[in-house]
Amino acid sequence: MNNIFYIDNHIHGSYGINFNYANYDEIKFVLKKLFKKNIKGICPTLVGETPENIQKQLFLFQKIQQEQLKKIDNETYIIGVHLEGTFLSKQKSGIQDKSTFLTPNIKNFKKIVGDFENIIKIVTIAPENDIDLIDYLNKKNIKTQAGHTIGKNLKNCKATTHHFNAMNSIHHRKDTICLEGLIKDEIYCEIIADLIHLSKNTLELCFKIKPKDKILLISDSLPLSNSKKDIIFCNKKINSKGKDEGGILAGSNKTLDKICKNLYKKNILNKKEIKQMAFVNQIKYLNLKNREIDILNQ
């Protein structure tokens, strides 16, 4: 597995460091560490926060990305930021703070990101609440993903966020985003394949139904991955298994390299499939430029 590279579109942090609050040096520390695990690119993922705090982090990620495009040395490349918070359904909030949620519209998006729209690569949205944001983001080539949703259809979203999790599941008499995402071949699906968020049989169902070029393996890694530190995430105490005190899953306690190695060890996926679902598909999905592809292949 040493010759396989990874891109993680959905990672909240690692080594005890939370991307929602990390300073410049802490972010650089994580990037150096992840690079040693062959994680060549990431979309740092931010949960709901105040516009001021979100913009503070966007500034840092944009600054580092601009530096990396000029010169990068043995660190994971920041492809762009994934905004997972703010535009979610309160009925499927998961671990996130409902008080930070806003209606998905252009005005609120601009309020949240300020002058840093260019660093945004992915936005997770509950499409049933959307006013005009999905179409706006699609025109801007920002990837729209349906997640933390009770919706019945994708409403022009290009992908799903951590498929099956924080959405209504498959029902034999009802339409759900979970079902639509699986059967529509043009839709990409994020999959947390840590065998905790999805069972082995559910994973194998996904891998059989979805075209292999439309699966995006992600970690949803929490700051507690690669760390023994207790963490506070979304103002809640999270244990080593990635759960809050009420048993709600907040994310994964593993980074993408460990998840993929476990999939290979358990004969769920072979090396070719892992390379496609954890690296090749991400490059195509995110429409990366030649300079970025060169960085990721270094």
How does pLDDT run across 238-248, given as a tens digit for each residue?
999 899 999 99
What pLDDT is recorded for position 101? 97
Pairing of strands 231-233, 236-238: antiparallel
What pLDDT is recorded for position 85? 94
How does pLDDT run across 47-62, given as a tens digit for each residue?
999 999 999 999 999 9
How does pLDDT run across 66-101, given as a tens digit for each residue?
999 999 999 999 999 999 999 999 999 999 999 999
pLDDT above 90 coverage of the chain, percent: 95
pLDDT band at 2 (very low <50, low <70, confident <90, very high): confident
Average pLDDT rounded to a whole number, residues 204-233: 95
Are the C-beta atoms of 280 and 288 separated by less than 8 Å? no
What pLDDT is recorded for position 37? 97
Domain boundaries, the chain: 6-296
Q: What is the mean pLDDT of the chain?
A: 97
**What gap in Å lies between CA 179 and CA 228, rounded to an integer?**
37
3-class DSSP string for 144-176: EEECCECCCCCCCCCEECCCCCCECCCECCECC
Does this model's pTM top 0.95? My answer is yes
What pLDDT is recorded for position 298? 86
Examine the pLDDT at 229 and tell me if it is beyond 80: no
Cα radius of gyration (the chain): 17
The CATH fold assigned to 6-296 is: TIM Barrel (3.20.20)
